[in-house]
A and B are shown apart, each in its own frame.
Chain A
Amino acid sequence: MTKIIEPAKRTNIFRRPSSEYGFWSWVTTVDHKKIGIMYGYAAFFFLLIGGLEALVLRIQLAQPDNSFLSAAEYNAMFTMHGTTMVFLAIMPISAAFFNYLLPLQIGARDVAFPRLNALSFWLWVAGGLFLYSTFIFGTAGAPEGGYLAEEVGWLGNAPNGGWFGYQPNAGFKYSPGTAMDYWALGLQILGISSLVSAFNFIVTIINMRTKGMRFMRMPVFTWMTFAVAFLLAFSLPIIAIALFYVTFDRQFGTTFFLVEGGGDPVLWQHLFWLFGHPEVYILILPAFGIVSEILPTFSRKPLFGYAAIVFAGFGIAFIGFGVWAHHMFASAISPVAQAGFGLSTMVIAVPTGVKIFNWLGTIWGGKLNLKTPMLFALGFIGMFVIGGLSGVTHSIVPADTQQTDTYYIVAHFHYVLFGGAMFGIFGGLYYWFPKVWGRMYNETLGQIHFWTMMIGFNLTFGPMHWLGLQGQVRRTWVYAEETNLGFWNLIVSIGAFIIALSILIFMANWIYSRRKGEKAPFDPWDARTIEWTIPSPTPVWNFSKAPEVKALDDFWHAKYDEDEEGRAVRRDTADALLLQLEEEGLNPEEEIELPNPSYFPIILASGLPFFGYAVIYKSIPLALIGAVLLLVGSFGWAIEPLEEEFTTKEEEE
């Protein structure tokens, strides 16, 4: 028997979308799981593009005095690589995890504002496409006294002022053409998208928790999502205003960051890093959360020091707002400020250290089950410690002035963001693969992926430490033969291609397992958190009735008891419980009303790029198109009820 659901009547500008399968079901969906999956795939697509850009850079640097890229093309490639990886790869892949898992981990049916959630996703898509449309429409002219116009080339018609967009270098004088405007306005749109999702997640966590899900019973991943949402909410407004200033400077003749007009370039640095440093934690905290889920599950022990890990996460988030100027030790800031920010940078290592030791405490004496997610989690700890330690060296101001703008810095932040964030994310992708697809990934391929990535990663970024200390500068497209940097640069480039190979293995595994993988058993990892108490793949309605949580790691306590020595003993009833949960999860007792799909999020989101183009090309018609889309989107949205009144027919199959 199937239920056919049809909207009662036409109540809005368009008939309510009702398809449950196929293209339109994805475009109009407000289901957090579908949105999460779309985030994941789209972000992975951009990850591949950002990776290709990195490979192009490494080909250029594989030999001294290479001419594979011109200086202009090289500038565009490293700018786009950084911007893509931060805003279009790691942030949205984290958002994919937030979307899919957050409601499941707190036992909710969806996020607090399902349509806003869809809006975040489509705004992000709009921002990403807008930014990348620079390759088609954008131009990067040749600055006075810089490289020649003919060296710009096709690849060079992209933003070229660095992902940090330092002023006045990224102003109209030294970065003529429209490319940097695409960057400023594209980031603006992406920022709105992240802000909207931050509101959504904060409210979801505060207000959508199920019965008994007190704050101190929430899984650590949910906690870290909470911390990230606060970081986003309070750091993005700062960069939004700074980007306004950039756009005004470039388009409307103001001089916020131009010394000749009384402006202040250092102001840009402060505003950028006031956002930029919390951004670092926006990128890494989701991985902290993922790893804190994987380690206890695969060590078969509770997380060591749950409260300490949670508070350390918030400590990091809080102190993260007070360390920004350590990115600026080489700029015009006073010695007192240097000392202060050096100290705060040392202080932030403390909560980070607390986390590391808690993770070690978690695996200490556990029965380790070295499956792929666990390997990535362990790899994460190792690589992140290296990156964290090289990070603390930056708090020593004299040493930092030496390291500024060298490959030592590049090595540091790749150990943190690739060895840290990306390893954590890959661990999470393997860990929750059975949850999302109901099938198992191929374990052998997973292990091969881990080891090739581990080797490739260290070959790529390890040597950068000493290349940097020997004085190789960042963001420079050639180095001379006489510097003797050629050998290690070649190793680095080889490492980069090994990483690319490991990504191909990952993709092969994903595509194969997604279709042909073994069917996942219920609760494949003997997990602890409540997202595993429902069938995989997750039913549309998530939980067939609101779960009630009685303890931290509720699912584990339902399956295990303690003997006198505190060891976990599986209850006799555990297997029956799993069968019962599967049965109940697939067959909800009462009819479940879900929020209905809507056209308006995508309509509203598609309006913003038009405003972007309108500002760049000073075009009123484009602005009008944008305004119409915005108006139709928001008005239709406002009068559309979240849940339509449905008539339900039952039909024999």
Chain B
Amino acid sequence: MSGGHDYPHEPTGVETRKLGMWVFLSTEILFFGTLITTFLLFKGRDFPGIKLTDVYDIPFTSISSFILLMSSLTMVLAHNALENEDQEKTRVWLLATAMLGAIFLAGQIYEFTEFYHKGFELSTNIFSSTFYVLTGFHGLHVFIGVVFLIGLWAIGQRQQGLSLDGGMNLEFIALYWHFVDIVWIVLFTVVYLI
């Protein structure tokens, strides 16, 4: 980064940008931790009105969860392709990852609208409020990830293509993407399954 040629960098051996992402993700754990704690706190309490169990469709959400998990696989494939300096494949897998993420988001939007029509609204009861804020916050993360991926794909269209040490680094975004996927595994279990 900045500095003359004699300047030493990264005494830890971890690339600075990547280290920054790790620190960022560690705070994300606190963000989601606070949300999940609130969710679990209110889950056990009595509340009037319709419940999530009355409206949800486990098979549907399972499929969309599977799609999101598959996007982690395509992300790995994109990274692998870039390591082998195959620009073409990198772009294909990047776009595939973004599309899978977008399909997951579409599924979430569909699910939310369905719930709304069945009377499970944001302010129906304390449970519905925590549900929407928690899963919506995750959805926002997926959305930002999709925007990043498409941006990366667009940058990859340039002549020089992508590299592993550019500004918007593929590895950097991959870390974020995998994290968002892992969070969904936790959320799916906590919110839908138990």
- Which of A's residues lie within 8 Å of B, judged by CB? 108-110, 112-114, 195, 198-200, 202-203, 206-211, 233-238, 240-242, 244-245, 248, 252-256, 261-264, 267, 271, 545-546, 588, 590-595, 635, 638-643
A253 to B133, CA, bound (A): 13
Cβ 8 A contact of A109, one of B2, B12, B122, B130? B2
Are B23 and A233 in contact, CB atoms less than 8 angstroms apart?
Answer: yes
**Complex-state Cα separation, A200 to B2, whole angstroms:** 14
A639 touches B125 (CB 8 A): no
Could you say which of A112, A252, A643 contacts B122, with CB atoms under 8 Å apart?
A252
A-B contact sample (17 more), CB < 8 A, given A112-B16, A255-B126: A112-B20, A113-B16, A203-B19, A206-B14, A233-B27, A237-B27, A241-B34, A245-B38, A245-B133, A262-B42, A264-B41, A590-B5, A592-B3, A593-B4, A638-B151, A638-B168, A639-B155
Query: Which positions 135-168 of chain B face chain A at CB distance < 8 Å?
Result: 137, 151, 155, 167-168
In the complex, A200→B21 CA distance in Å? 10
Closest-by-CB residue of A relative to B158 is A639
Ranked nearest first, the 6 interchain pairs of A and B with the lowest CB-CB distance are: A237-B30, A253-B123, A254-B129, A262-B126, A241-B34, A109-B3
User: Do the beta carbons of B123 and A271 come within 8 Å of each other?
Assistant: no
Interchain CA distance A613-B47 in the complex, whole Å: 33
* Docked-complex contact A242 and B34, CB < 8 angstroms: yes
What is the chain A residue whose CB lies nearest that of B4?
A592
Cα–Cα distance between A391 and B24 once the two chains are bound (Å): 33
In the complex the two chains form, is A208's CB within 8 Å of B9's CB? yes
* Chain B residue total in the interface (Cβ 8 A): 45
Residue of B2, B26, B48 with most chain A CB atoms under a 10 A cut-off: B2
- What CA separation (Å) do A641 and B24 show in the bound complex? 22
Residue of B nearest to A642 (CB): B1
Whether B2 contacts A642 by the Cβ 8 Å rule is yes
| Whole-angstrom distance between the Cβ of A107 and the nearest chain B Cβ | 9
What string of 1s and 0s marks CB contacts (under 8 Å) between B17-61 and chain A?
Answer: 001100110111011011100100110011110000000000000
Residues of B within 8 A of A (CB): 1-12, 14, 16, 19-20, 23-24, 26-28, 30-31, 33-35, 38, 41-42, 45-48, 122-123, 125-126, 129-130, 133, 137, 151, 155, 167-168
Is B23 touching A202 in the complex (CB atoms < 8 A)? yes
Which residues on B sit within 8 Å (CB–CB) of A207?
9-12, 14, 16, 19
- B49 and chain A: residue at smallest CB distance: A262
Give the complex CA separation of A202 and B12 in angstroms: 13
B41 near A593 (CB under 8 angstroms)?
no
Tell me, in angstroms, the Cα distance from A588 to B3 when the chains sit together: 12
Given A202-B23, A203-B16, A262-B47, residue A595 in contact with residue B122 (CB < 8 A): no
Q: In whole angstroms, how far apart are the Cα atoms of A592 and B6 in the complex?
A: 10
Q: Which A residues touch B38, using CB under 8 A?
A: 241, 245, 256, 267
Q: List 6 A-B contacts (CB under 8 A).
A: A109-B2, A199-B24, A208-B9, A248-B133, A595-B2, A638-B167
Residue of B nearest to A213 (CB): B11
Beta-carbon nearest neighbor of B46 in chain A: A262
Neighbouring A residues of B34 by C-beta, 8 Å: 237-238, 241-242, 271
* B134 (CB) vs chain A CBs: closest residue: A241
Q: Which residues of A contact B24 (CB under 8 A)?
A: 199
- Chain A residues with CB under 8 Å of B47's CB are 262
Shortest beta-carbon distance, A364 to chain B, in Å?
A: 35
In contact, A639 and B167 (Cβ under 8 angstroms): yes
